[in-house]
A and B are shown apart, each in its own frame.
Chain A
Amino acid sequence: AQKITQTQPGMFVQEKEAVTLDCTYDTSDPSYGLFWYKQPSSGEMIFLIYQGSYDQQNATEGRYSLNFQKARKSANLVISASQLGDSAMYFCAMRGLLSGGYQKVTFGTGTKLQVIP
């Protein structure tokens, strides 16, 4: 079974500061992928960043970086230089492998980030 845990239901950050959103995971799959998605109040889901379990380097996409610590089973999202438009719900997700070659995607419960001017 696989599980994603996001322990911060809500967070505040000052505009232009960096913020870290926590995500821990549990899986027995040898190979898996970790994602972060952003969901603004308008409801759409926006892909932000991906980290493969065998990737040596931490993933970065513009102001987003994923702090991947495999031994601790954590995949925290770091947003640098926060902007007002970053205010949204953020979901951590994992894709793992089931028997028979099927894949399963599991989402965390989300963290609501509010950026303060």
Chain B
Amino acid sequence: DSGVTQTPKHLITATGQRVTLRCSPRSGDLSVYWYQQSLDQGLQFLIQYYNGEERAKGNILERFSAQQFPDLHSELNLSSLELGDSALYFCASSSGRNSYEQYFGPGTRLTVT
């Protein structure tokens, strides 16, 4: 158990809908990272927050947004969902701004029908 929690574990929704994925980092970790893993795109880095502020941005679509709250939990919002958004979404946390050792949560499996 990495100490990172993600909810929900599975999510099934229809095209055009909006969903929110939630992540609680390990106790004391200030950085949260979001990743998308799909069969055709592989593992893609989406975005990083450090202590509430956006720190790094990867291949995140404009339909997606994220934020980190004062209690350090983070949410990833996915809107106008398309079939291609079906994937496993991971959250990871680390202690510092540039820490290399990231601890991954179990992931949220999103299925868009």
Give the Cβ gap from A7 to chain B, nearest Cβ, in Å.
14
Give the Cβ gap from B11 to chain A, nearest Cβ, in Å.
15
Interface-located stretch among A12-20, A22-30, A41-49, A69-77: A41-49
B45 / chain A contacts, CB cutoff of 8 Å: 104-107
Verify B100–A35 contact, CB threshold 8 A.
Answer: yes
Chain A residue with Cβ nearest B1:
A44
Annotate B83-94 by CB proximity to A: 1 below 8 A, 0 otherwise.
000001010100
Interface residue count for A (Cβ, 8 Å)? 23
Contact of B80 with A by CB under 8 A? no
Verify B42–A47 contact, CB threshold 8 A.
Answer: no
Chain A residue with Cβ nearest B4:
A44
The distance in angstroms between the C-alpha atoms of A43 and B43, with both chains bound, is 12
**B81-113 CB contacts (< 8 Å) to partner A:** 88, 90, 92, 98, 100-107
A37 / chain B contacts, CB cutoff of 8 Å: 104
Contact of A83 with B by CB under 8 A? no
A102 / chain B contacts, CB cutoff of 8 Å: 55-57
Contact of A57 with B by CB under 8 A? no
B43 / chain A contacts, CB cutoff of 8 Å: 91, 93, 107, 110
Verify A110–B42 contact, CB threshold 8 A.
Answer: yes
Give 28 CB contacts A-B under 8 Å.
A33-B100, A35-B100, A43-B106, A43-B107, A44-B104, A44-B105, A44-B107, A45-B92, A45-B104, A46-B104, A47-B103, A47-B104, A50-B100, A102-B55, A102-B56, A102-B57, A103-B56, A103-B98, A104-B45, A105-B33, A105-B45, A105-B58, A107-B43, A107-B44, A107-B45, A109-B42, A110-B42, A110-B43
